[in-house]
Amino acid sequence: MCSRSARRVERGSGVRVSYLIRPAKKLRGRWVAAGDKSITHRAFLFGALGEGESRVRGANAGADCARSRAIAEAIGARIEPVAGEERTSWRLFGRGGRFRAPGVTLDAGNSGTTLRLACGLLAAQDFSVTLDGDASLRRRPMARVQAPLAALGAALTLSPEGTAPLTLRGAPLKGCVWTSPVASAQVKSAFLLAALQATGPSTYREPQLSRDHSERLLARMGARLGRDGEGVLHLAGPQSLRCVDLRVPGDLSSAAFLIAAALLVEGGSVLVKNLGVNPTRTGFLDVLQRMGARFALYHPREEGGEPVADLLAQHSSLRATEIQPEELPRLIDEIPLLAVLAARATGESRLRGLAELRVKESDRLAATAALLTAFGASARVEGDDLVVAGGGALRGAEIDSGGDHRLAMAAAVLGLVSRGESRVRDTACVATSFPEFPGLLRRFSDGALSREQDEPEADADEAAC
């Protein structure tokens, strides 16, 4: 399933876009952080399960969240843009769990969050539905969400490779106890959405506490959740949810790229306002502190059940660090960027236990090492660890993002502090999470980044829409 509007947002014209980056002579600016992607996904999909009307303000405008919005509409939720704020503010009318069969394949595009959460949302429905995604999403493992939903009573059939496309046959669900082998907010959220529609008590255990946006939003919507220590959740179903108005805080994982640029560029300084600083997401800031970065949080407050603050970051001399596996749930999306910072730090850094990066939008572990090496940094993969020797001179490079938005942005930041011009190809993927990125970086750096169009290419996924 793909609406015309969603296709325009996510597929674009089929033209490949490159970034041309020159060494930055300055990096200064201030902005209000773009809406958090994780919370925006949940606002649309949880809102579809709720009763009544809600208003979502400050939503992430990226293509991934447009997929969640389109799927919510396909199963019966009515979602309307707010006049004058068409990309970031929406009125949503929930279905109270009484969804309609979409009649077409639901297309999650590049968004693993959309696909996995939609499975939990639809697990108790009395119809079957097929969910699919783009070529990158079809490489990502889905057995980790199949198993807990099957324990609740849903039937989820995967491809022979254990990936999308997948077919979900909804059924009456019964509560269960599930212990997850991975700390995954996506798997946890899918389980919670299904367990809320099940009969009887359920318990979910994870090895470490993953990001808790789902628990916070569900509590605001009236769900009764109990926590027994870190990583153990209890609930009894079925439960109904009420729609609530939500102002989405800024996305730390996106803002991190401009924060890092300010730390690296001589004389750099950025102020980011309305930044979400949920403690299950701030591992990046903890590592920056260990590395000696100069930054400070101001005006801490709470909005919509989430902690928010303003952050000022300034150019810093960084020192090497180690990142341990138990830290990863709080900073998994920032690993490529932390590797970039390590390349400019004094000493050797080791980022441990990165196996999960192999099943992201790309093999991010290998791709991050290759990215650093292309720019002249010393980086190697040892088992599931990434070892980066910092302090060496960097040279401009020409690289292809491989369609991974976080690698594309990390490469752009690296280009700002490398000798000579750099070119990052295939950057349209940045629109999945942070479409404002190139414009902000260009403005803050006085034009060190410019965009070029490459040759048009056929859109292989268009026929699936």
**What DSSP designation does 206 have?**
-
List, as one string, the DSSP characters of 36-94.
PHHHHHHHHHHHHHSBSEEEEES---SHHHHHHHHHHHHTT-EEEEPTT-TTT-EEEE-
Query: Vertex 433, ends 321 and 212: CA angle to 5°?
Result: 65
Asked whether 268 and 314 are in contact (CB, 8 A), the reply is yes
How crowded is residue 62: how many other Cβ atoms within 10 Å of its Cβ? 28
Kindly list the strands in the beta sheet with 378-382, ordered across the sheet, starting from the edge strand earlier in the chain: 322-323, 348-351, 385-389, 378-382
Q: Is the separation of the CB atoms in 64 and 37 below 8 Å?
A: yes
Structure tokens at 241: 């949810």
Q: What are phi and psi of 392, to 5 degrees?
A: -80, 165
Cβ neighbours of residue 420 closer than 8 Å, sequence gap 6 or more: 23, 395, 396
Taking Cα atoms as reference points, which of 236, 255, 417, 446 lies closest to residue 342? Answer: 417
Mind giving me the DSSP string for 250-272? Answer: B-HHHHHHHHHHHHHSTT-EEEE
Taking each continuous run of H as one helix and of E as one strand, the counts in the chain are 13, 24
Q: What is the DSSP secondary-structure string of 390-407?
A: -S---B--EEE-TT-HHH
Q: Please tell me the distance from the alpha carbon of residue 317 to that of residue 266, in angstroms, as a whole number.
A: 10
Distances from the Cα of 95 to the Cαs of 54, 100, 388, in angstroms?
A: 12, 9, 50
Chain-centroid distance of CA 296 in Å reads 24
Per residue in 414-424, is it b (16+ CB within 10 Å) or e — as a string?
bbbbbeeebbb
**DSSP state letters, 118-134:** HHHHHTTSSSEEEEE--
Half-sphere exposure of 183 (CA within 13 A, CB side): 19
Q: Which residues are catalytic?
A: 333
Cβ-based burial of 42 (10 A; exposed 0-12, middle 13-18, buried ≥19): buried
Q: What gap in Å lies between CA 323 and CA 328, rounded to an integer?
A: 8
